[in-house]
């Protein structure tokens, strides 16, 4: 694969994969100081070019700005969009921002940095097409824009359950505020909803007409009921005020996640790389289907630029039990370690931990609608994506940055 993205509905989202990789896989994003490294503050040619340096002895980091930004397309003004991305410093948001920036659009990121981090978009700070705003979407925000991608909300179960009241508030107030902005500016509004709106589903695979099976008072309710009411608001503004809306229901997605994100893919890879036991919650018979981040970004951009106002599932239909998935991740980690001559003995083991309350027993995206209306389907296999992630975490561990 040499590119991601495609032309749909008059909007070209294609960019070369190596350019994108040079951003998110930056091998020397952080490097550790060694004996010949300059002392803090001492400038070298390398340092001037871009590197941040990590000093393991003092556990300090010397950040630097890029002296040259990644190349962005030159787009005619009438084709250039002013795009607002809430949660743009998060995992999905930052990948979306990279893509939109490379495509030559003007991007404003709103983030409160609760789970997002400035480092995910730091490479664009100072670029004339880019603006980074610390802002919590529970407060109103005004700007002129053409498209709003409303992503802001913690998405990892430990994060969204950390302050459940704030999670509901973010879903409700945040969506209300952004819909108000869309109404005023006449911007097109896309909300990233979730497969969690289907709860612990009684229909399998889950299609968009299924209303779900959600416990309204359980520990996950802050997120799944929050997203459900966010969808309700979205269609309320659509019907009452004619706001132009798009609703993406995102299924499990992985990629360059924060290694401490707490979701299963990053947990398993980090555990296997560190030689720790891999933690399966429950007996491992619950299922998920995993999509790689680039496929999701392709789907979000296609949906935003399409005419489809109904909810659309964006996810993979390649279903695994969590038990089988743990073994697959271990196999891929071992393959990479073997190639690098770092295969440890003994082999890491899987252990079993209690299943979280209301953990959905099965989940697989029915993507018929996305195929029909967006001509979209995932292109990355789990092996391709997990292997890229393993190498990413391994490089970061070698640098000493995780």
User: Which of 191, 250, 374, 389 is in the footprint of ligand UGA by CB under 6 A?
Assistant: 250
Within 341-360, the residues that bind ligand UGA by CB under 6 A are 356, 359
Q: Report the Cα–Cα distance between both ends of the chain, in Å, rounded.
A: 28
* Catalytic one of 223, 237, 254, 393: 223
SS3 (DSSP) at 150: strand
**Interface size with ligand UGA, residues (CB under 6 A):** 20
Nearer to ligand UGA, 62 or 194 (CB): 194
Residue 263 found at the interface with ligand UGA (CB under 6 A): yes
CB of 3: closest distance to ligand UGA in angstroms? 24
- Residue of 329, 319, 193 whose CA lies nearest to 274: 329
- Least distance in angstroms from the C-beta of 196 to ligand UGA: 5
Taking the complex as a whole, the smallest distance from the CB of residue 220 to ligand UGA amounts, in Å, to 7
- The H or E element spanning position 141 is none
Per-residue contact track with ligand UGA, 267 to 306, x per CB under 6 A?
A: x-----------xxx----x-x------------------
157 binds ligand UGA (CB under 6 A): yes
3-state secondary structure of 51: coil
Per-residue string for binding with ligand UGA, 369-398, x by CB under 6 A?
Answer: ------------------------------
| Cβ(248)–Cβ(291) below 8 Å | no
Please give the Cα distance from 206 to 4 (Å, whole number). Answer: 26
Give the C-alpha separation, 284 to 279, whole Å: 10
Q: Measured at CB, which residue is nearest to ligand UGA?
A: 263
Under a CB-based contact definition with an 8 Å cutoff, are residues 226 and 170 in contact? yes
54 is catalytic: no
Asked if residue 120 binds ligand UGA (CB under 6 A), the reply is: no
Asked if 212 interacts with ligand UGA (CB under 6 A), we say no
- DSSP letter at 106 equals E
- What's the DSSP call for residue 365? B
Binding mask 305-344 for ligand UGA (x = CB under 6 A): -----------------x----------------------
User: Under a CB-based contact definition with an 8 Å cutoff, are residues 73 and 234 in contact?
Assistant: no
Structure tokens at 385: 């994506």
Question: Any idea what the Cα angle at residue 214 is, between residues 209 and 216, rounded to 5°?
Answer: 135
Cβ 351 to ligand UGA, closest distance in Å?
A: 10
Rounded to 5°, the CA angle 137-187-211 comes to: 70
Q: Give the residue numbers marked as catalytic.
A: 223
> Which residues lie near ligand UGA (CB under 6 A)?
155, 157, 194-196, 223, 250, 252-253, 263-264, 267, 279-281, 286, 288, 322, 356, 359
């Amino acid at each position: 694969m040499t590119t991601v993205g495609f032309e749909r509905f008059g909007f070209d989202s294609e960019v070369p994969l190596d350019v994108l990789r040079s951003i998110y896989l930056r091998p020397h994003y952080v490097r550790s100081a060694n004996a010949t490294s300059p002392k803090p503050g001492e400038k070298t040619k390398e340092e001037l070019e871009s590197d941040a340096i990590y000093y393991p002895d003092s556990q300090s980091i010397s950040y630097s700005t890029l002296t040259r930004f990644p190349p962005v397309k030159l787009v005619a003004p009438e084709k250039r969009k002013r795009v607002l991305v809430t949660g743009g410093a998060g995992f999905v948001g930052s990948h979306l921002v990279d893509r939109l920036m490379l495509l030559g659009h003007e991007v404003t990121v709103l983030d409160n940095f609760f789970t997002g981090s400035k480092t995910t978009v730091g490479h664009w700070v100072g670029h004339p097409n880019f603006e980074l705003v610390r802002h919590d979407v529970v407060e109103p925000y005004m700007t002129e824009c053409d498209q709003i991608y409303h992503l802001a909300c913690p998405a990892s179960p430990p994060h969204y359950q950390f302050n459940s009241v704030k999670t509901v508030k973010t879903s409700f107030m945040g969506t209300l505020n952004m819909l108000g902005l869309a109404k005023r500016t006449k911007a097109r509004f896309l909300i990233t909803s979730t497969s969690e709106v289907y709860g612990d589903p009684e229909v399998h695979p889950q299609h968009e007409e299924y209303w779900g099976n959600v416990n309204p008072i359980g520990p996950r309710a802050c997120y799944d009921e929050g997203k459900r009411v966010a969808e309700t608001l979205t269609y309320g503004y659509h019907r009452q005020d004619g706001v132009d809306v798009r609703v993406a229901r995102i299924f499990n997605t992985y990629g360059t996640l924060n290694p401490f994100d707490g979701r299963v893919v990053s947990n398993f890879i980090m555990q296997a790389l560190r030689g720790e036991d891999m933690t399966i919650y429950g007996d491992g018979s619950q299922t998920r289907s995993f999509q790689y981040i680039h496929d999701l970004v392709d789907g979000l951009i296609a949906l935003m630029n399409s005419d489809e106002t109904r909810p659309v599932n964006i996810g993979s239909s390649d279903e695994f039990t969590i038990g089988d998935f743990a073994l697959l991740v271990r196999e891929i980690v071992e393959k990479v370690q073997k190639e690098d001559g770092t295969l440890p003995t003994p082999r890491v083991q899987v252990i079993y931990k209690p299943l979280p309350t209301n953990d959905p027993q099965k989940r697989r995206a029915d993507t018929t609608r996305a195929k029909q209306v967006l001509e979209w389907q995932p292109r990355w296999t789990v092996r391709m994506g997990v292997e890229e992630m393993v190498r990413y975490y391994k490089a970061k561990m070698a640098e000493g940055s995780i």
